[in-house]
Structure 1
Amino acid sequence: MTFQITVQPSGHQFTCDEDETILAAAMRAGVGLPYGCKNGACSSCKGKVISGNVTHKPHQQRALTEEEAAAGMSLFCCAIPHADLVIEAREVAGSSDYPVKKMPSRVSAIEKVAPDVVVITLQLPANESLKYRAGQYIEFMLPGGKRRSYSMATAPDNGPISLHIRHMPGGFFTEQVFSTMKERDILRFEGPLGTFFVRDDSDKPMVLLASGTGFAPIKAIVEHLNQIGSTRKMVLYWGGRRPQDLYMDAQCREWAAKQANFDYVPVVSNALPEDNWTGRTGFVHHAVMADLPDLSGHQVYACGAPVMVESAKADFVAQCKLPDDEFYADAFTTEADLAK
């Protein structure tokens, strides 16, 4: 049995199988619903069911609270329809411009840039290319049907792809990366995925907000905008627990020194005396609020830990006048997050 899904306000329609999620069906049909983790953790795909009914696969309660569900809200990455539906969602133009591919890649370099972060570079086959938007991610296809997602940290120029990978003790994939992975290893992936990329229909100044390796897609965005000669104003707030977590601080300072439209604010929350840190401290999104108490004319692109992303959106909208629909995010959910 199949059901018809109608998206408002666009009027776009697609069919969804009875055991298929709304998001999966939309992606198959080329309809650009927003999404991030695809696992019910980040809430990027949240929308409203106007008519019809759905049930949800397991998901994190913070991504869809009981109150939101009672009001008709839904996580489309987890929602299974039981009738024809009319849903309300903010579609993302350009999200289906590039085909999702499955392809092999060869590890061409592994560079340790912090005690718990490496940059791995992937070389694609000579006859293959991966078209993507800066900010999107790929999923590695691992043994046992497991998958792990990482954002491209390089601008989309058809060259090698770099990823920033943080060591998660006991992690199925990161333990391999930090112990046995070597150059010339072959990894298979699927991509590009995700709707975290710059909206080209605006010239509003951008706040780029990152924590930890959430810097990776932000780096790709900055490099891409530089390549195309964009003059949009950008300010990057990058937060870490200690200075070593800002593992490409020198690169960011170089951008700020050379680009009139780019500013950089590093923020450290738990510096130790031996770090000799003299910069900004505290939560990274609080630094944004202190510097920019009125965000009504801005766009925010946030990437990092779910707690940072969620807190930033709530506070920016409630206290800094940021329009709710001008906050774009990619929450880096780990397997530990998904298991909760």
Structure 2
Amino acid sequence: MSFQVTVQPSGRQFTCDEGETILNAAIRAGVGLPYGCKNGACSSCKGKLVSGEVEHGPHQERALSANDEKLGFSLFCCAKPQSDVTIEAREVAGVGEFPVRKLPVRVAALEKKADDVIVLSLQLPANDRLQYKAGQYVEFLLRDGKRRSYSMANAPHKDEHMSLHIRHLPGGLFTDQVFSTMKERDILRIEGPLGTFFLREDSEKPIVLLASGTGFAPIKAIVEQLENAGSTRPVTLYWGGRRPQDMYMNELCEAWARTLPAFTYVPVVSNAQPEDNWSGRTGFVHQAVMADFPDLSGHQVYACGAPIVVESAQRDFVAQCKLPEDEFYADSFTSEADLASSAPATN
């Protein structure tokens, strides 16, 4: 059995198999519903259920509350139709431009950039580069059907290899492997490109880039895309960490600030210690943006990193800095530990 999903206001339609989520069916059909984590945590795919019935699988209460459901909202990454449905969602142009594919990749290099960060370089099959947009991610296909998501840290044109930034989470199914047993020439399997976090190139608005930790990875790809396009849009990058060493590619960012027109770099440290001799900006990274840009009404913001950083930025930029809601683009890096930190909600 299958059900028909109609998207308003575009009128696009696609088929959703029994037991399949609306989001997975949309991805399969090349329909650009906005999404991020795909696991019920980030709320990027939340939209209105206009008609029909769905059953929601496990998800975070903060992503879709019981009151949200009463108001007719749905979380499409975990919503399984029980009838034909009509949904209301803002479609993202360009999502279906490149097909989602499964590919084998070979580990080309592992470069330690910090005690807890490795840059993993992957070699794709010969004459078969993965097409993607700067900012998107791939999923590693692991044993027992498990998956782990990581953003590409280089623009599609930039390097021969695909680059990913992996932060070690002790006990992590994948990161423990990266930091202990993984070696050059190992073969892995990936699926991608995925995600609707990518540079909107149809605008000339000034850009604020906001990163925390390894959320810098897709931000780096976006900067490289802007550089390759010869963009003259004003860009300000804020990169936040607890200690200065958390900005593990600080020298690259400083080089961009010297060489790229209209590019500014602002590192922000929240927990500097005396031995760090830190004299730069301090505090929460999104608050540094607010201090410098009290009026964001004419800007675009691209934010990536820890869920608390992304959620705080979206809330405060819209409420206090006049940022249009539809000009905030985000990818919340939700780990398995984040998912386990609060009980999932179910119907």
Q: Give the structure-1-normalised TM-score.
A: 0.98
- What is the identity, as a one-letter code, of the residue corresponding to 1:87? I
Could you tell me which residue of structure 2 aligns to residue 232 of structure 1? 233
Q: Cα offset for 1:321? A: 0.5
3-state SS in 1 of match to 2:309: helix
Output the amino acid matched with 1:127: N
In the alignment, what sits opposite 1:76? Answer: 76
User: Which stretch shows the higher mean deviation, 211-220 or 222-231?
Assistant: 222-231
Alignment of 1:137-176 (within 5 A): 137-157=137-157, 159-176=160-177
Q: 1:327: how far off? A: 0.5
* Paired residue secondary structure (2:163): strand
State the alpha-carbon separation in 1 of the partners of residues 154 and 32 from structure 2.
23
Within 1, Cα distance between the matches of 2:79 and 2:143? 27
Q: Distance in 2 between matches of 1:183 and 1:69?
A: 48
The superposition leaves residues 215-243 of structure 1 with CA deviations (integer Å, 9 ceiling, x where unpaired) of 00000000011011111111101000100
The 5 Å alignment of 1:181-220 reads 181-220=182-221
The one-letter amino acid of 2:42's match is: C
> 2:67 is aligned with what amino acid?
E
For structure 1, list consecutive stretches of 5 or more residues without a partner in the other structure. none
Name the structure 2 match of 1:283.
Answer: 284
Task: Tell me how far 1:52 sits from its aligned partner.
Answer: 1.5
The residue aligned with 2:308 is 307
Structure 2: state its 5+ residue gaps.
343-347
Aligned partner of 1:88 in structure 2 is 88
C-alpha distance after superposition, 1:49-99 (max 9, x if no partner): 111121210001111122222111111000011122111111010011011
Give 3-state SS (helix, strand or coil) of 2:14's partner: strand
Distance 1:121 1:5 in 2: 39
Q: CA deviation at 1:183?
A: 1.1
Aligned-pair identity in percent equals 73
Match of 2:335 in 1: 334
Cα distance in 2 between the residues matched to 1:180 and 1:2:
43
Q: Which residue of 2 aligns with 1:292?
A: 293
Task: Identify which range, 210-219 or 99-108, moves more after superposition.
Answer: 99-108
For residues 212 and 67 of structure 1, the distance between their equivalents in structure 2, rounded to whole angstroms, comes to: 33
Using the TM superposition, give the Cα deviation of residue 159 of structure 1 relative to its aligned residue in structure 2, in angstroms. 2.1
Counterpart residue number, 2:52: 52
- SS of the aligned residue for 2:148 comes to strand
1:176-220, Cα deviation, whole Å (9 max, x unpaired):
111111111111111111110011221111110000000000000
Which amino acid is the alignment partner of residue 172 of structure 2? G
For residue 147 of structure 1, report the CA deviation from its aligned partner: 0.8
1:84 & 1:203 partners in 2: Cα distance?
40
Q: Which residue of 2 aligns with 1:98?
A: 98
What is aligned with 2:345? Answer: none
Following the alignment from structure 2 to structure 1, what is the Cα–Cα distance between the partners of residues 3 and 145? Answer: 28
What is the letter of the counterpart of residue 113 of structure 1?
K
Per-residue CA deviations over 1:138-197 (Å, capped at 9, x if unaligned) read 111112211111000011027200100000011011111111111111111111111100
Equivalent position of 1:62 in the other structure: 62
2:114 is aligned with what amino acid? A
Q: Quote the Cα distance in structure 1 between the aligned partners of 2:208 and 2:9.
A: 28
Other structure's SS at 2:95 match: coil
State how far apart, in whole Å, the 1-side matches of 2:155 and 2:108 are.
17
> 1:63 and 1:84 mapped to 2: Cα distance?
24
Match of 2:325 in 1: 324
Q: Residue type of the partner of 1:309?
A: V
Look up the match of 2:107.
Answer: 107
Matched with 1:222 is 223
Distance 1:53 1:322 in 2: 34
Mapped partners of 2:127, 2:119: distance in 1:
24
Secondary structure, counterpart of 1:133 in structure 2: coil
The alignment partner of 1:96 has SS state of helix
1:130 Cα deviation after fit? 0.4
1:337 CA displacement? 1.7
One-letter amino acid matched to 1:100 = V
Paired with 2:211 and 2:116, the residues of 1 have a C-alpha distance of 17
* Whole-Å separation in 2 of the counterparts to 1:65 and 1:256: 42
Report the counterpart of residue 271 of structure 1 in structure 2: 272
Partner Cα distance (1:55, 1:283) in 2: 38
Matches within 5 A, 1:114-129: 114-129=114-129
Q: Which amino acid aligns with 1:86?
A: T
Which residue number corresponds to residue 30 of structure 1? 30
Alignment of 1:248-259 (within 5 A): 248-259=249-260
Give TM-score scaled by structure 2 length.
Answer: 0.96
Regions of 4+ moved over 4 Å: none
